[in-house]
Structure 1
Amino acid sequence: MFTGIDEVDWASLRHAYGSAEDVPQLLRGLASADPAEREIALDGMYGAVHHQGDVYDSTLACIPFLFTLVGSRAVEERGGVVELLVSIGQDGEDREGASDTYAMACTAVRAGAEVFSRLTGDPDPEVRRAAAGALVRFLDEPARVLGLLRQRITVERDDRVLLALTESLGVLARRHPGYAAEAVDLLTARSAPPFGPALRLAALGQLAGCAPERLPADLVTTVVRLLRDRSERPPGRPQEPDRPETDTLVGHLRRLRPSDEEGSQLLRTLHSALDDRVSDRIALLVGQLDSPASTDRVNAVWMSPGLMREWRADYREPVALIGAQLAAPQDRLREPALALLEGLFELAAPAADHLAALVDSRPDLWVRQWERGAPTLGDPVKALARSGDARAVPVLGEVLEGRVVPNDLGHVITHLGPAATPLAPALRRRLGEIPLDSPETYDRAAPLLSALAALADAESVPEVLRLLLGVPDGLRLRESVVESAVRALESFGAGSCAAAPALRGLLDTGSAVAAVAAAGALWSVEGDAAAVLPVLVRELTSGGGQGRRAAEPLGRLGAAARTALPELIRMTGSHELWERMAAACAVWRISRDPEPAVPVLRAAWAQNPHTRVPIATCVAELGPEGALLHDLLCTELTARRRHQAALGGYGSHDIHADEQLLRVCREAVGGV
């Protein structure tokens, strides 16, 4: 089976962690009679030889041996090895601009694809299931592939293999339009009785992706009914065998996967294929969330974030139903529901009653203790406060009185607005208790400062000054502590007049960050352009990377900053996008001349959606004079996709940032 393996100079090859001399042991482990050893070996292949989808020279060297393994019926659990081969070949196929190594991997898997045709009839159903997907992706004979799939789908009796064959028919229809008609006919037939609900759901999901015109008019009603039927039927196949409890990523992912992994996959496929049919997807979620089967509701909760992060819509009904899951006794329902609601911020308001009930009934969830690291605010309290619900205020007050205040509490308070004003005295006291020379000073102080800034609590000036003047040189993140304190003083405006001498003292300390922040704060406190303009112009022209920071307060100075215009106009041609954008906003606000600014802002808006919130804010502050960019704002307000949806990945504040953008756009356009 491993003929020639010792003739490969593995030590000269590489994988994710260096020399590939350990790869022969991994390959032999895949053929072991011990299931734990097989799992550890497969985990090692994914962890090193195919780390995060990467392909190395050692990956290429493994491919012939992997094919030998999957072709031998003496090897147990070959389905996982087939999936590894598919991943190696498909990563090379799917990556744009992939290196020669990826292309060679794809070519090598294609060259061995004849094996997959034989494996579609293997006695092991897990091998047949994996082979179906491999066959359609790597055997470059679509007519033959279609014939094999047609033959197998009529004789197969294992439910999971039937689902894989159904998915493969959809893949073939999308990859080979010339052969799509028969594949679509097979899918259409299997989307209707007498076939079972799982197979019908799988066929509908594939039709949605390759032939949406063949979907039933009552798609959502049909899907919800099939989900109910499926949840009421016992599994049509034996349960999976017990697996070894290994300390591997493969084992960890197996333990984390949904209890109804099959249903989850069926729904992911359908939601993905429906794409911009948002109203249908919302109706489908509502049907799932209203199901008597907890597995359907769990799957709906897990499906919701992908939809809500990408599309703008009215989510009040599904959000309220997600809130209702908080009363479920199962952690597997409550925890993902909380994770979603926490990331919805103001859009979680329809679930606020359920959140408040959970907060009231479970004080043990107010603060989350971690095995390592500082405690954080509990998810129910955080979600309730982020939604803007004032019922979070008394609870946050009790947490503030506790022995340890979670570091993220201050950031959460900023979402409560004036309702959080009663918390100001406790926030001031806690700020005054922070040691000035601790490595955790910044981590503890910055959130409290942001909360006091949001409340514009001028009474906290003494505590803020204590930090500003008392943090010793050399402390970890000292400059960030100073900047956070200065930003708080700036938010107090004239209420920080007692801090003016301290702010002036920062203008020439040698720290550009502190100088720019202090200049902006001093302008807010005293409105004395003569004191701050020279500092801002100095940092604007210093070339130390502070130009973008200095541009914002210069814009607030307005006409008083006209002497900075030549340098700001020059900066609108910077190679750095954010610097160009900040300079253009400042030029427009100072000169009231749109000509140098508008082209730069239009280009930035199109180039990077992250710039849209500050640009829209600038346009709103300009009032009627900002009308030259109102077309951008109006187009944004009618767009269905969230402004960052196409960037790939996601962040915990993406939905909140998008709602903020919409709010600013409405204010700017509605104010004219």
Structure 2
Amino acid sequence: MFTGIDEVDWASLRHAHGSAVEVPGWLRALASADSAERTTALDGMYGAVHHQGNVYDSTLACVPFLFALTAREEVPDRGALVELLVSIGADSRDADARAREAVCAGAEGFVALAGDPDPPVRAAAAGALVHFLAEPARALRVLADRVRAERDDRVLLALTEALGLFVRRYPAHADAAVDLLTEQSAPPYSPGTRLAALGQLALCAPARLPSGLVPTAVRLLRKRSAHRVPPGPGTDTLVGRIRRLRPSDEEGSRLLRTLHTALGDRVADRTVLLLGQLTSPDPVDRCNGVWMAAALFRGWRGDHTRTVELLGGQLATAHDRLREAAVTVLAELFALAAPAADDLHALVSTRPDLWTHRWERCAPTLGGPLRALARTGDARAVPPLAQLLAGPAAPADLGFELVHLGLAAAPLAPAVRHRLGRVPLASASTARLAAPLLSAVRALGDEDAVPEVLRLLPGGPDGTGAPGATADQAIETLEALGAAARARPLLRSLLRTRHAAAAAGALWSADGDTSAVLPPLLGELTEGDPVNRRRAARHLGRLGPAARPALPALRRTAEAGPARVRTSAACALWRIDADPGPVLPVFRTAWAEDPRTRLPVARCLGAMGTAAAPLRDLVAAELAAPRRHTAREGGYGGHIPEDEALLRACGEVRSGMGA
């Protein structure tokens, strides 16, 4: 197995953390009879030699020895080694084609492993045949032979997924593979295999699907779950911990996730599938359904009321993992979680121990159930929040959630004000403690908090103030409270600092003195960082026609630079000059270039009324689109409140155009 291993100059090779001198020891340990030693060695391979999917010269040097290990039946856990080889050659994040070439050179070994006595080895080899065997027709013959001979359901699942991969990878050779998948989607194959085949057909050959796909899938899921064997305990290693973080039924999760992926924009069908998952008698199925609901919510628009109600129904479960998953997802929904508000309130009322959450060696944060309830805007969140604020260790992030409660949280204003007055200045914790409280003060409109806000301004009453972004937030809070006039001299002194844009906006709101604020705003527009350039453009737009001297600089800003800066400049151009000519092309380009610009663009279009008509197509397409505008593939990255705000803004634009 290790012939030639000592002839490799491992010390000169590198892995993620430096010299690869310890790699031969890991390779030898992979063949150890001691399972803990083997798992520790596999940790080393994934944690250094193939760290985060990357490939190093030491990774390439390991490939022949990994193949040698997989060929020896006496070596335990060879399935994990085949998976490592597949990851190196097929799933690597490294663009170096040498990794694939190195694994392809040993691809003949995967043919033998496809019939290995060890089921995990056969399962791992199935996909490897498709990835690395040079002859597609031969790979398909081997897969077909194995499907006919295989009796282990887990290996059959791997073979089914390999067939789907084959269809996508080699469409010219796909017909026979699709026939096999169609055969596997019906009796006498097991429910799990049939589910896997339906998912692969939905991905690559939807015309071959049977009618009633979703009800069939739900029925098969429940049959499968009735006979599922729970996983055993994991090891206390990196690989073991990663495996424990996966769903307790990772196989079932993968089967249903494949179906959801295949259904894509068919939100109604996916919702019916989720309803089947979330009403399953099996709490593990329901937990998987919760996470798949999260992906749907993040990535797709639609009427999610019934799904949210079923998430709320999971909160009374005795299964901690299921309850925690449902709480986590509901907290992401903000106002869309309102159909579960009664269930959230019941959990908050009966489990005060969940009002806060404390990570090891970290300050407490607001607990998920109370956070989710507050984000729905439900006033029933106020009493427990008041109790926390009255205690000695209120979560620092609590103030952010008061924003969603609006004036319902007004009774909490004195406690918020008190805590704001105790925020240490010029400290590493200043921003973390002050930002949530300033957000709450703005939302509550608490004018009595002005003294506490003033102390955060640079050069404030105690001469210290708060650093950086916190000072800008304090200035904007003064402006929001209509109290900027009380800090007029201080704001004027800040016009020559990094806080010039925020100070100029607040100063203008106090006395409307354009001559005082126009020069610093122009300076920030042309020379500030992107945040201050956008802030300066926004304040120039507020000045209206009085800011006409800024038009040349705004036009230049709207023509070049980041899309969000260009968008802010174009909005200001409209508010100052009311000429749609130079504005609408900027909006159209930014809309396509950076989805984050769509909400401010839509709001400006709403103010333009009929002048926005040339961009009617953008608004109509957005309102008709099933996907959230900032979502990425797989249902990641979509910020739900921002997308809901965009839909509302687009609806107002359409109404303003008379459509």
Q: Tell me the TM-score normalised to structure 2 length.
A: 0.95
> 1:374 is matched with which residue?
363
SS of equivalent residue, structure 1 residue 414: helix
Instruction: Assess if the C-alpha contact under 8 Å between 1:436 and 1:471 holds in 2.
Output: no
Structure 1 CA distance for aligned equivalents of residues 119 and 525 of structure 2:
68
> 2:618 is matched with which residue?
632
Q: How far apart are 1:577 and its partner, in Å?
A: 2.8
1:565 equivalent in alignment to 2:559: no
> 2:379 is matched with which residue?
390
Instruction: Report the AA paired with residue 387 of structure 1.
Output: T
Structure 2 CA distance for aligned equivalents of residues 384 and 579 of structure 1:
35
Q: Mean Cα displacement is larger for which, 658-667 or 616-625? A: 616-625
Structure 2 CA distance for aligned equivalents of residues 120 and 542 of structure 1:
63
Aligned match for 1:588, one of 570, 574, 598: 574
Q: Mean Cα displacement is larger for which, 292-301 or 580-589? A: 580-589
Instruction: Report the AA paired with residue 643 of structure 2.
Output: D
Identity %: 60
Instruction: Report the AA paired with residue 658 of structure 1.
Output: D
SS of equivalent residue, structure 2 residue 629: coil
1:63 equivalent in alignment to 2:48: no
1:82 equivalent in alignment to 2:71: no
Instruction: Report the AA paired with residue 611 of structure 1.
Output: T
SS of equivalent residue, structure 1 residue 291: coil
Instruction: Assess if the C-alpha contact under 8 Å between 1:609 and 1:644 holds in 2.
Output: yes
Check 1:81–1:647 CA distance in 2 against 1; reply closer, same or farther (3 A cut): closer
Matches within 5 A, 1:296-445: 296-445=285-434
SS of equivalent residue, structure 1 residue 137: helix
Structure 2 CA distance for aligned equivalents of residues 22 and 351 of structure 1:
53
> 1:249 is matched with which residue?
238
> 2:481 is matched with which residue?
492
Structure 2 CA distance for aligned equivalents of residues 539 and 256 of structure 1:
47
1:505 equivalent in alignment to 2:483: no
Instruction: Assess if the C-alpha contact under 8 Å between 2:602 and 2:649 holds in 1.
Output: yes
Q: How far apart are 1:582 and its partner, in Å?
A: 1.9
SS of equivalent residue, structure 1 residue 572: helix
Check 1:212–1:317 CA distance in 2 against 1; reply closer, same or farther (3 A cut): same
SS of equivalent residue, structure 1 residue 150: helix
Structure 1 CA distance for aligned equivalents of residues 400 and 635 of structure 2:
23
Q: How far apart are 1:240 and its partner, in Å?
A: 6.4
Instruction: Assess if the C-alpha contact under 8 Å between 1:454 and 1:491 holds in 2.
Output: no
Structure 1 CA distance for aligned equivalents of residues 357 and 179 of structure 2:
53
Check 1:647–1:492 CA distance in 2 against 1; reply closer, same or farther (3 A cut): farther
Aligned match for 1:532, one of 517, 526, 530: 517
Structure 2 CA distance for aligned equivalents of residues 577 and 597 of structure 1:
13
Q: How far apart are 1:425 and its partner, in Å?
A: 2.3
- Spell out, residue by residue over 1:114-160, the C-alpha distance to the aligned partner (whole angstroms, 9 max, x if none): 11110111111111111111112211222222221121112211111
> 1:26 is matched with which residue?
26
- Spell out, residue by residue over 1:417-474, the C-alpha distance to the aligned partner (whole angstroms, 9 max, x if none): 2322222222122212323354322211111111111222223212211322548788
> 1:192 is matched with which residue?
186
Q: How far apart are 1:288 and its partner, in Å?
A: 0.8
Instruction: Assess if the C-alpha contact under 8 Å between 1:458 and 1:496 holds in 2.
Output: no
Instruction: Assess if the C-alpha contact under 8 Å between 1:431 and 1:445 holds in 2.
Output: yes
Matches within 5 A, 1:517-666: 517-542=502-527, 546-646=532-632, 650-651=636-637, 654-666=639-651
Structure 1 CA distance for aligned equivalents of residues 456 and 399 of structure 2:
16
Instruction: Report the AA paired with residue 14 of structure 1.
Output: R
Check 1:305–1:440 CA distance in 2 against 1; reply closer, same or farther (3 A cut): same
> 2:13 is matched with which residue?
13
> 2:214 is matched with which residue?
220
Instruction: Report the AA paired with residue 513 of structure 2.
Output: D
1:153 equivalent in alignment to 2:147: yes
Instruction: Assess if the C-alpha contact under 8 Å between 2:425 and 2:464 holds in 1.
Output: no
Aligned match for 1:275, one of 256, 261, 264: 264
> 1:265 is matched with which residue?
254
Q: How far apart are 1:274 and its partner, in Å?
A: 1.8
Gaps of 5+ in 2: none
Q: How far apart are 1:540 and its partner, in Å?
A: 2.7
1:465 equivalent in alignment to 2:454: yes
- Spell out, residue by residue over 1:155-188, the C-alpha distance to the aligned partner (whole angstroms, 9 max, x if none): 2111111111111111112222232222212211
Instruction: Assess if the C-alpha contact under 8 Å between 1:461 and 1:499 holds in 2.
Output: no
1:103 equivalent in alignment to 2:94: no
SS of equivalent residue, structure 1 residue 645: coil
Matches within 5 A, 1:132-171: 132-171=126-165
Check 1:457–1:307 CA distance in 2 against 1; reply closer, same or farther (3 A cut): same
Q: Mean Cα displacement is larger for which, 80-89 or 16-25? A: 16-25
Structure 2 CA distance for aligned equivalents of residues 437 and 86 of structure 1:
52
Instruction: Report the AA paired with residue 205 of structure 1.
Output: G
Structure 2 CA distance for aligned equivalents of residues 527 and 389 of structure 1:
38
1:3 equivalent in alignment to 2:7: no
SS of equivalent residue, structure 2 residue 455: helix
> 2:224 is matched with which residue?
230
Structure 2 CA distance for aligned equivalents of residues 485 and 234 of structure 1:
57
1:181 equivalent in alignment to 2:175: yes
Instruction: Report the AA paired with residue 521 of structure 2.
Output: L
> 2:280 is matched with which residue?
291
Instruction: Report the AA paired with residue 401 of structure 1.
Output: A
Q: Mean Cα displacement is larger for which, 172-181 or 479-488? A: 172-181
Structure 1 CA distance for aligned equivalents of residues 488 and 616 of structure 2:
38
Check 1:126–1:232 CA distance in 2 against 1; reply closer, same or farther (3 A cut): same
Instruction: Assess if the C-alpha contact under 8 Å between 1:341 and 1:348 holds in 2.
Output: yes
Instruction: Assess if the C-alpha contact under 8 Å between 1:471 and 1:478 holds in 2.
Output: no
Q: Tell me the TM-score normalised to structure 1 length.
A: 0.93
Matches within 5 A, 1:107-122: 107-122=101-116
Check 1:473–1:215 CA distance in 2 against 1; reply closer, same or farther (3 A cut): farther
SS of equivalent residue, structure 1 residue 522: helix
Instruction: Assess if the C-alpha contact under 8 Å between 2:298 and 2:628 holds in 1.
Output: yes
Instruction: Assess if the C-alpha contact under 8 Å between 2:10 and 2:21 holds in 1.
Output: yes
Instruction: Report the AA paired with residue 144 of structure 1.
Output: R
Check 1:121–1:242 CA distance in 2 against 1; reply closer, same or farther (3 A cut): farther
Structure 2 CA distance for aligned equivalents of residues 263 and 193 of structure 1:
19
Check 1:403–1:391 CA distance in 2 against 1; reply closer, same or farther (3 A cut): same
Structure 1 CA distance for aligned equivalents of residues 167 and 111 of structure 2:
18
Structure 2 CA distance for aligned equivalents of residues 136 and 436 of structure 1:
61
Structure 1 CA distance for aligned equivalents of residues 586 and 183 of structure 2:
55
Q: Mean Cα displacement is larger for which, 615-624 or 382-391? A: 615-624
Q: Mean Cα displacement is larger for which, 328-337 or 173-182? A: 173-182
Paired positions, count: 655
> 1:35 is matched with which residue?
35
Instruction: Assess if the C-alpha contact under 8 Å between 2:525 and 2:536 holds in 1.
Output: yes
Instruction: Assess if the C-alpha contact under 8 Å between 1:79 and 1:126 holds in 2.
Output: yes
Instruction: Assess if the C-alpha contact under 8 Å between 2:460 and 2:490 holds in 1.
Output: no
- Spell out, residue by residue over 1:468-511, the C-alpha distance to the aligned partner (whole angstroms, 9 max, x if none): 25487888x61222111101011123x44323333233223xx2
Q: Mean Cα displacement is larger for which, 356-365 or 297-306? A: 297-306
Q: How far apart are 1:576 and its partner, in Å?
A: 3.0
Gaps of 5+ in 1: none
Instruction: Assess if the C-alpha contact under 8 Å between 1:548 and 1:578 holds in 2.
Output: yes
SS of equivalent residue, structure 2 residue 379: coil
Structure 2 CA distance for aligned equivalents of residues 240 and 422 of structure 1:
50
- Spell out, residue by residue over 1:350-375, the C-alpha distance to the aligned partner (whole angstroms, 9 max, x if none): 11111111011111111112222221
Structure 2 CA distance for aligned equivalents of residues 428 and 234 of structure 1:
55
Structure 2 CA distance for aligned equivalents of residues 203 and 75 of structure 1:
32
Check 1:136–1:560 CA distance in 2 against 1; reply closer, same or farther (3 A cut): same
Instruction: Report the AA paired with residue 414 of structure 1.
Output: V
Q: How far apart are 1:67 and its partner, in Å?
A: 0.7
Structure 2 CA distance for aligned equivalents of residues 599 and 240 of structure 1:
57
